């Protein structure tokens, strides 16, 4: 089956992205192929079928891996700055196609058009970062204890990087991985979410065109569409030394065990249960803006979405009233209409989990300040639109301990010292993003200290979402411990080697050991 949906300028956007007909879900380059079952992509915006693609079979997968393996042999030999030039061209192509790709992201995933554009901008930003990094893959020199010896460390290309991405960031997370992996000399095999397969095909079209124009082999960028069975092929494949997986904690534990069983490496970006601490010294206006965007942006479907607001009892009622007032101004509807703040959830299963979470918090003794609920009627025909909800709760509620991918914000109260709030924040199994709102320097520094936030990301006077690519992104505990994007995250995509060179005519041993013949 080919393309179906044509509303909202989507057909024009797909034309610009080079997608005329979609009947395959695997690619080793510019040609797409697959022979598995059909995979339907429905838009949560209007519930319409966008297109159907074929999923990858074991035979399709084997062709992809073999092609990627061959491409790696030549790609790794190209000097890193020259690989950086290819990534630069890819970034330029993204600049040219930012609007149509952002529109496709918005329509297929359901996030606002502005957020769709922002996601493509993240791709552009990581390309810029990677281009500079391609001249800075530094090793380390050190002094040897043996005379006439030199020691140093260097980094070599790793091989095939398998990427399993989630629906909520259908293009950016792939780019975070690929841009760095490519400049490191790796090739990539990507399984996008089965809920957003067209975004994957669009990105593969863009990447393949750049590689083809530079007479580079197919296989540097590969795509395989399908469900969890395709992911299982990757996690158990010894030819893939690194698997980068983004998704739920449940999924991450499965991936980690499968990859570890073959002593491979995994880079995991899993669930978040992110909190903002609001101290008595907080700027209330800034707090409300940060909390509302963090809680309802992408309809609460970010791994960094704000789930919990931990408010000091002295200002609890003031913050609560301000939040309820702010929520009353939210506009919910078609995310391609830039007058709206909140779009749909990804599908009806997500709506069901949202409704179950609201029922559960009441069952456990919580109170709904804004009851939320599913929206119906004109403009909401897809059945995926819900109202953002606010609930008063306790941190030890089972539902509060769990990550619900929906716009539900739990208000928690603390008293006494800031350490009490930090303990509440840390009292969950996830450890991705965290924030504190305070103008008290001591509180801010304590939050960032060794006894402060236990998350991979800790912010002061900004919310939990909206990370920049310059810093390493990732979390601790059951968030998986992975780091992507900026800083020295590139090292996970390479293998480390220690070298010792003897430039004398003698062979002294380390630690002064004598071995005479």
Cα gap 414→272, rounded to integer Å: 21
Task: Please report where in the chains the tokens 């490496």 appear, as a residue.
Answer: 265
CA 510 vs CA 144, 146, 500, 505: distances in Å = 9, 7, 11, 16
Q: Is 376 helix (H, G, I), strand (E, B) or coil?
A: coil
Catalytic residue among 269, 403, 443, 484: 269
Q: Is 8 helix (H, G, I), strand (E, B) or coil?
A: helix
CA 489 vs CA 164, 304, 402, 492: distances in Å = 17, 19, 28, 6
Q: Is 375 helix (H, G, I), strand (E, B) or coil?
A: coil
Catalytic residue among 303, 443, 455, 484: 303
CA 298 vs CA 59, 295, 331: distances in Å = 37, 9, 13
**What residues contact residue 40 under an 8 Å CB cut-off, 6+ apart?**
49, 51, 52
**What residues contact residue 358 under an 8 Å CB cut-off, 6+ apart?**
368, 371, 372, 373, 389, 391, 408
How many CB atoms within 10 Å of residue 347? 17
The DSSP line for 381-429 is TTS--EE-EEEE--TTSHHHHS--SSSEEEEEEE-SSHHHHHHHHH-SS
Strand intervals (E) in 233-387:
242-246, 265-269, 274-278, 306-312, 367-370, 373-374, 386-387
| Residues 340/346/348/349 CA torsion (nearest 10 deg) | -140
Q: Is 364 a catalytic residue?
A: no
Closest CA to 310 of 352, 284, 277: 277
The string over 38-51, giving b where at least 16 C-beta atoms fall within 10 Å of a residue's C-beta and e elsewhere, is: ebebbbbbbbbebb
Closest CA to 322 of 432, 228, 411, 436: 411
356, containing H or E segment: helix 348-363
Specify the pairing of strand 274-278 against strand 433-437: parallel
Q: Is 381 a catalytic residue?
A: no
Closest CA to 346 of 304, 388, 299, 307: 299
Residues acting as catalytic residues? 269, 303
């Amino acid at each position: 089956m080919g393309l179906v949906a044509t509303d909202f300028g989507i057909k024009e956007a797909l034309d610009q992205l080079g997608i005329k007909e979609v009947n395959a879900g695997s690619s080793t380059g510019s040609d797409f192929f697959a022979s598995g079952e059909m995979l339907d992509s429905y838009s949560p915006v209007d519930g319409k079928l966008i297109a159907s693609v074929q999923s990858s079979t074991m035979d399709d997968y084997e062709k992809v891996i073999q092609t990627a393996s061959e491409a790696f042999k030549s790609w790794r030999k190209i000097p890193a700055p020259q690989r950086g030039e290819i990534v630069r061209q890819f970034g330029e192509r993204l600049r040219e196609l930012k609007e149509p790709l952002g529109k496709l992201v918005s329509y297929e995933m359901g996030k606002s058009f502005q957020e769709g554009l922002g996601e493509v901008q993240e791709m552009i930003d990581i390309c810029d970062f990677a281009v500079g990094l391609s001249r800075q893959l530094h090793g380390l020199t050190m002094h040897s204890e043996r005379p006439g010896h030199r020691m140093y460390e260097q980094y070599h290309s790793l091989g095939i990087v398998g990427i399993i991405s989630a629906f909520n960031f259908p293009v950016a997370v792939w780019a975070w991985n690929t841009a760095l992996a490519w400049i490191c000399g790796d090739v990539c095999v990507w399984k996008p979410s089965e809920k957003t397969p067209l975004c994957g095909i669009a990105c593969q079209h863009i990447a393949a065109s750049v590689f083809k124009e530079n007479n580079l082999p197919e296989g540097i960028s590969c795509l395989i569409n399908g469900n969890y069975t395709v992911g299982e092929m990757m996690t158990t494949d010894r030819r893939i030394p690194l698997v980068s997986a983004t998704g739920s904690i449940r999924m991450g534990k499965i991936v980690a065990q499968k990859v570890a069983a073959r002593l491979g490496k995994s880079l995991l970006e899993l669930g978040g249960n992110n909190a903002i601490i609001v101290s008595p010294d907080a700027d209330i206006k800034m707090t409300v803006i940060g909390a509302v965007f963090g809680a309802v942006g992408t309809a609460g479907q970010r791994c960094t979405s704000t789930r919990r607001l931990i408010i000091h009892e002295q200002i609890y009622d003031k913050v609560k009233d301000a939040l309820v007032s702010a929520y009353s101004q939210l506009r919910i509807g078609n995310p391609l209409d830039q007058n709206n703040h909140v779009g749909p959830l990804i599908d009806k299963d997500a709506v069901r989990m949202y409704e179950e979470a609201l029922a559960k918090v009441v069952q456990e003794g919580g109170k709904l300040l804004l009851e939320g609920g599913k929206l119906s009627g004109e403009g909401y025909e897809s059945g995926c639109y819900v109202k953002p909800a606010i609930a008063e709760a306790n941190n030890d509620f089972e539902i509060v301990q769990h990550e619900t991918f929906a716009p539900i914000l739990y208000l928690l109260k603390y008293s006494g010292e800031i350490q009490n709030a930090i303990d509440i924040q840390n009292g969950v199994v996830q450890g991705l993003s965290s924030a504190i709102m305070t103008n008290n320097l001591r509180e801010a520094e304590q939050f960032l200290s060794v006894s402060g936030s236990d998350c991979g990301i800790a912010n002061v006077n900004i919310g939990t979402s909206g990370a920049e690519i310059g810093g390493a992104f990732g979390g601790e505990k059951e968030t998986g411990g992975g780091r992507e994007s900026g800083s020295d995250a590139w090292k996970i995509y390479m293998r480390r080697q220690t070298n010792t060179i003897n430039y004398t005519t003698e062979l002294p041993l380390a630690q002064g050991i004598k071995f005479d013949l």
